[in-house]
């Protein structure tokens, strides 16, 4: 039962914890996690490592910190990191990769979010006194700015092969890696086997209030624990964050399918409308990204009209809009959204 009339499709980060999560927080066994003594954190970290088929995992407060900790634990200052040009690390993490990690980000453009191995090969320059040492490639799965697109395991394998040939490590920003796994109908391990490290978020489609996990080898996680401390992310009774995370891994992964079906439903409805440019091939998980015809409307007007009708969305760039489905959104909500979009687009407000 919905508590509010607002249909909030801005992001899956707006999800609220389930009753079971709140109960789990209340009853969590706690200890001091900086001493490694919080049993609930330890349990979640073991579960995460096992689920991703890696040796160890580390709980951190946010996805942004998870990426920064991972990047810093894979590199030394002054080195070069290849990443996709629309990646979250490059766009939305306040430049921490440069200002804090001291690295040179080297963006590579792609069609739908997956770096082409040939483009990576072409970007790697010979080791030479003029060039910063390249040491890491970051990939993103699913890809946020490309509308929740999936980088397939075979694509990760090809990138990883090129990376290995050049002595580079691969880190995956897997904030929504379970969406990728559910979207393709394969085990999440298929996505993790060809990367050295990854992070995933509990606080997006999995509905937790806080938390992300960094995952990799034991040695990498030991280093990451120290980097997390440097960044102020060492937490004490962090079992209150881990407890809902355990519920999320046990109960909230399979239901992501419902979010994907709702996104698909909405996309198919609005793709037909005049003034909306939407490529249905790119609607692969819980996001619906599309462009507005500038001759018809602008993102400001569109978002305002939607809001007046009880629907919230975000503009990702000029005239590029994104809807994200999640645990708080049911089929009725996407049906209503589709009809609101249809009525807004039928107006001639810019003519
Ligand atoms: C792909 C991706 N990576 C990282 C993050 C950062 O997560 P947080 O908002 O928890 O810092 C996000 C957040 O939306 C994301 O979409």
Cα(250)–Cα(260) distance, integer angstroms: 19
For residues 214 and 70, the answer to whether their CB atoms sit within 8 Å is yes
Full DSSP string of 2-62: -S-S-EE-S-GGG----HHHHHHHHH-----GGGT--HHHHHHHHHHHHHHTSSEEEEES-
Residue nearest to atom 9 of ligand 1 (CA): 63
Candidate from 14, 87, 88 with most ligand 1 atoms within 8 A of CB, to mutate? 88
Atom of ligand 1 nearest to the CA of 140: 1
For residues 125 and 106, the answer to whether their CB atoms sit within 8 Å is no
Candidate from 65, 144, 176, 286 with most ligand 1 atoms within 8 A of CB, to mutate? 144
Atom of ligand 1 nearest to the CA of 64: 11
Note the pLDDT tens digit of each residue in 249-266. Answer: 999 999 999 999 999 999
Is-cis flag, bond preceding 142, omega within 30? Answer: yes
Note the pLDDT tens digit of each residue in 183-204. Answer: 999 999 999 999 999 999 999 9
Cα(351)–Cα(337) distance, integer angstroms: 24
Residue nearest to atom 5 of ligand 1 (CA): 63
Cα(79)–Cα(76) distance, integer angstroms: 6
Note the pLDDT tens digit of each residue in 313-330. Answer: 999 999 999 999 999 999
Candidate from 64, 150, 211 with most ligand 1 atoms within 8 A of CB, to mutate? 64
Candidate from 15, 59, 173, 201 with most ligand 1 atoms within 8 A of CB, to mutate? 201
Cα(150)–Cα(30) distance, integer angstroms: 37
Cα(304)–Cα(313) distance, integer angstroms: 10
Coil, strand or helix: which one is 172? strand
Alpha carbon of 203 to ligand 1 centroid (Å): 9
Alpha carbon of 116 to ligand 1 centroid (Å): 23
Atom of ligand 1 nearest to the CA of 203: 10
Cα(239)–Cα(236) distance, integer angstroms: 8
Atom of ligand 1 nearest to the CA of 67: 4
201: tokens are 């978020």
Cα(81)–Cα(105) distance, integer angstroms: 5
What are the per-10-residue average pLDDT scores of the chain (351 residues)?
77 98 98 98 98 98 98 98 98 98 98 98 94 97 98 98 98 98 98 98 98 98 98 98 98 98 98 97 98 93 96 96 97 98 84 50
CA distances from 44 to 13, 50, 248 (A): 20, 10, 10
Tell me which residues have their CB closer than 6 angstroms to ligand 1: 13, 62-64, 67, 88, 140, 144, 173, 175, 201, 203, 212
């Amino acid at each position: 039962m919905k508590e509010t009339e607002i249909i909030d499709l801005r992001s899956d980060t707006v999800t609220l914890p389930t009753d079971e999560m709140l109960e789990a927080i209340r009853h969590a066994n706690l200890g001091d996690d900086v001493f490694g003594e919080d049993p609930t954190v330890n349990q979640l970290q073991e579960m995460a490592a096992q689920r991703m088929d890696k040796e160890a995992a580390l709980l951190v407060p946010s996805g942004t910190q998870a990426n920064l900790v991972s990047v810093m634990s894979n590199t030394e200052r002054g080195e070069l990191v290849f990443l996709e040009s629309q990646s979250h690390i490059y766009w939305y993490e306040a430049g921490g990769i440069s200002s804090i990690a001291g690295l040179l980000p080297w963006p590579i453009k792609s069609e739908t979010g997956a770096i082409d191995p040939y483009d990576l090969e072409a970007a790697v320059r010979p080791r030479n006194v003029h060039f910063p040492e390249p040491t890491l490639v970051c990939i993103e799965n699913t890809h946020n700015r490309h509308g929740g697109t999936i980088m397939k395991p075979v694509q990760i394998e090809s990138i990883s092969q090129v990376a290995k040939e050049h002595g580079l490590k691969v880190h995956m920003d897997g904030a929504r890696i379970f969406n990728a796994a559910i979207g393709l109908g394969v085990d999440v391990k298929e996505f993790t086997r060809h990367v050295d490290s990854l992070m995933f978020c509990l606080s997006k489609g999995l509905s937790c209030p806080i938390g992300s996990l960094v995952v990799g080898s034991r040695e990498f996680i030991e280093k990451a624990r120290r980097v997390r401390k440097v960044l102020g992310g060492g937490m004490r009774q962090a079992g209150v964050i881990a407890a809902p995370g355990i519920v999320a891994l046990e109960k909230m992964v399979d239901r992501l399918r419902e979010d994907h079906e709702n996104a698909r439903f909405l996309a198919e409805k609005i793709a037909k409308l005049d003034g909306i440019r939407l490529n249905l091939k790119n609607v692969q998980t819980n996001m619906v990204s599309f462009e507005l015809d500038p001759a018809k409307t602008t993102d400001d007007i569109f978002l305002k009209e939607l809001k007046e009708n009880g629907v919230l969305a975000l503009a990702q760039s000029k005239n590029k809009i994104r809807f994200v489905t999640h645990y708080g959104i049911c089929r009725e909500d996407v049906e209503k959204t589709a009809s609101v979009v249809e009525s807004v687009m039928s107006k001639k407000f810019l003519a």
